[in-house]
Amino acid sequence: MYQYDAIDQQLVEERVAQFRDQTRRYLNKELSEQEFLPLRLQNGLYVQRYAPMLRIAIPYGMLSSVQLRKLADISRRYDRAYGHFSTRQNLQLNWPKLEDVPDILAELTEVEMHAVQTSGNCIRNTTTDQYAGVISDEVVDPRPYCELIRQWSTFHPEFAFLPRKFKIAVNATESADRAATQVHDIGLHIKKNDAGEIGFKVIVGGGLGRTPMVGVTISEFVPREDLLTYLDAIIRVYNQQGRRDNKYKARIKILVKALGIEEFRRRVDAEWAHLRGKESTVPMSEFERLASFFTAPAYQTLSDQPTELSSKLAESAGFARWYERNTFEHKQAGYRIVTLTLKKAGQAPGDATADQMEKAADLADRFSFGELRVSHEQNLVLADVRQDQLIELWDAAKEAGFATPTLGLLTDMICCPGGDFCALANAKSIPIAAQIQDTFNDLDYLYDLGNIDLNISGCMNACGHHHVGNIGILGVDKKGEEFYQVSIGGASGHDASIGKILGPSFAQEEISSVIQKLMQVYVDNRSEEERFIDTFRRIGIAAFKEAAYAKTN
């Protein structure tokens, strides 16, 4: 993991002092509400329905057990002893007191954490694949590049007041895109060119919200040393030319769409021509320095499928299920990647109590070199678990509520906090998730349905990524009542697509039965081994629509 040096530490400490002063002046009424707003947002602090919400950055999802224990401790002393892991690798506290926030931030700096730019119209936390560095088919480990981008984007003096928020995600493998890069303002795909040099395919103008769009390729290959000057060029064009008259048309996707990708590329290239090769060109020594923080831990020499694992798989269906769903192939023989799911029935998706955070930290210490990752699907990951310790880990994970063996299945939902907490929401989302958890509680049936992404957002801001769920559920307000619009056919991987709206919205109590009807259409129409999304793409929306709105006889 990246370790702060004196410079990194000084910067976060100065930021805390600055924010402490801003908060003091706000509470003294020296700063108006309007002036304090962007200042607190740039530090992740929203004012929500009942209390402020503080969003803490977990840069590219990497978390040490020490940091996670600190988060648990903070949530216990300053909040209600739980937190919510978001889709963009952040942790949200829902009940802090405004006047406590400077102290919370000061405590975060003790473990090299911060809440810098987790909100506001600036460059947000850079995200990546939760399996970074431990899968065999990635081009290179994306984390050193994420750290490079984190530093470049942190307090960038020119880009703190952009037309709208700006999100960057990085992917480094052809086999999957677990960071949903195509629905980010900039998506970066690490690749090698024919000469074996490392660079980035750059995708621009993706995003969700009111006008969901899949990004388009602006460059097939930007050499890695030119990454920062290229990013500067893109964002400088956007900062000057993006729309500022209407917040719903202010994301970069609208500018790219309005100009067309050729014209946008021409403008970026014209800007880049001035910047390329200048001081921000990254020297090899910096790549080496950053890479040195992400070396392999002290793996033992082991072989795959040790006998205790094979026999447990044969004798315990429960274990076999968990192994199949919640663990993933590791590049190192004898190791496995394990997801600790935060999708237990009865708990809001992505929520973890302080006790759970501490247990997860303990598990990381016992089984995975003291490190964890946070995933886009709102789960925790232990990246380096010995296969001969999986049985022990499974037992411990079950006890802590982390072993619901449904990773990637219908009930592994992405869900925003919704109307229960969020001031922006039109409708609640957590009760919808609970309803679906309750209805789809038969594991055999869930397994039979296979991989399905179901995403729930409480409003058009799309924090629950409903547009790119195979099934998306969006809370809407109809004359003061909460209704839900269902879309179908979205995807967030390399085959990213925006879902199509099924039709008129449904009442809250109808949702589960609608999902059941959609599942039935899938089961009736699928060919063997066909995933839900593939069946949908083959047969189209009509059959699903008909079933969802059919009158019951």
Partner 1 sequence: MPKLIKDGAIIDNQYEWLQDIDSTTNEKSIVAAQKWLSEKDTIGKVAGIWLDAGDGTDILEGIDLNQFNVIGINFPAFADGRGFSYARLLRERFDYQGEVRALGGFIPDQLGYLLRVGFNSFQFAEDVDLEKALLLHKPFSVAYQGDVADPRPIFLRR
Structural tokens at position 511: 């949702």
Count of CA atoms in the C-beta half-sphere (13 A) of 373? 25
28, amino acid identity = N
With CB under 8 A, what is the number of residues at the site for partner 1?
Answer: 40
SS3 (DSSP) at 200 = strand
Among 103-111, 233-241, 367-375, 510-518, the segment contacting partner 1 (CB under 8 A): 233-241
Pattern 122-151, partner 1, x by CB under 8 A: -----------------------------x
480 binds partner 1 per the rule CB under 8 A = no
Single out the residue of 1, 4, 20, 38 in contact with partner 1 (rule: CB under 8 A).
38
Q: Which is nearer to partner 1, 149 or 397 (CB)?
A: 149
Structural tokens at position 42: 């740039």
280 binds partner 1 per the rule CB under 8 A = yes
Name every residue whose Cβ is closer than 8 Å to that of residue 98 and which is 6 or more positions away in sequence.
Answer: 23, 27, 45, 47, 52
Q: Which is nearer to partner 1, 12 or 474 (CB)?
A: 12
285 binds partner 1 per the rule CB under 8 A = yes
Q: What is the DSSP letter of 210?
A: T
Q: Which is nearer to partner 1, 287 or 299 (CB)?
A: 287
Single out the residue of 121, 130, 182, 426 in contact with partner 1 (rule: CB under 8 A).
121
Q: Which is nearer to partner 1, 77 or 278 (CB)?
A: 278
Instruction: Please give, one letter per residue, the 3-state secondary structure of 84-136.
Output: EECCCCEEEECCCCHHHHHHHHHHHHHCCCCCCCCCCCCECCCEECCCCCCCC
Beta-bridge mates of residue 352: 83
Single out the residue of 97, 210, 266, 274 in contact with partner 1 (rule: CB under 8 A).
274
300 binds partner 1 per the rule CB under 8 A = no
SS3 (DSSP) at 178 = coil
Q: How many residues does the chain have?
A: 553
Single out the residue of 67, 86, 87, 154 in contact with partner 1 (rule: CB under 8 A).
154
284 binds partner 1 per the rule CB under 8 A = no
What are the backbone dihedrals phi and psi of residue 45, each rounded to the nearest 5 degrees, phi first? -105, 115
Q: Which is nearer to partner 1, 73 or 286 (CB)?
A: 286
Sign of the torsion angle spanned by Cα atoms 526, 528, 533, 536: negative
Among 97-105, 194-202, 273-281, 420-428, the segment contacting partner 1 (CB under 8 A): 273-281
228 binds partner 1 per the rule CB under 8 A = yes
Longest Cα–Cα distance of the chain, Å, equals: 72
Single out the residue of 97, 210, 266, 289 in contact with partner 1 (rule: CB under 8 A).
289
Among 10-18, 51-59, 88-96, 366-374, the segment contacting partner 1 (CB under 8 A): 10-18
413, amino acid identity = M
Single out the residue of 49, 76, 156, 257 in contact with partner 1 (rule: CB under 8 A).
156
Do residues 209 and 250 touch, judged by C-beta distance below 8 A? no
Q: For residues 229 and 148, what is the distance between their CA atoms, to the nearest angstrom?
A: 12
278 binds partner 1 per the rule CB under 8 A = yes
395 binds partner 1 per the rule CB under 8 A = no
Q: For residues 138 and 320, what is the distance between their CA atoms, to the nearest angstrom?
A: 27
Residues near partner 1 (CB under 8 A) are: 5, 7, 10-11, 14-15, 18, 22, 30-31, 35, 38-39, 121, 151-152, 154-163, 228, 236, 239-240, 244, 274, 278-280, 282-283, 285-286, 289
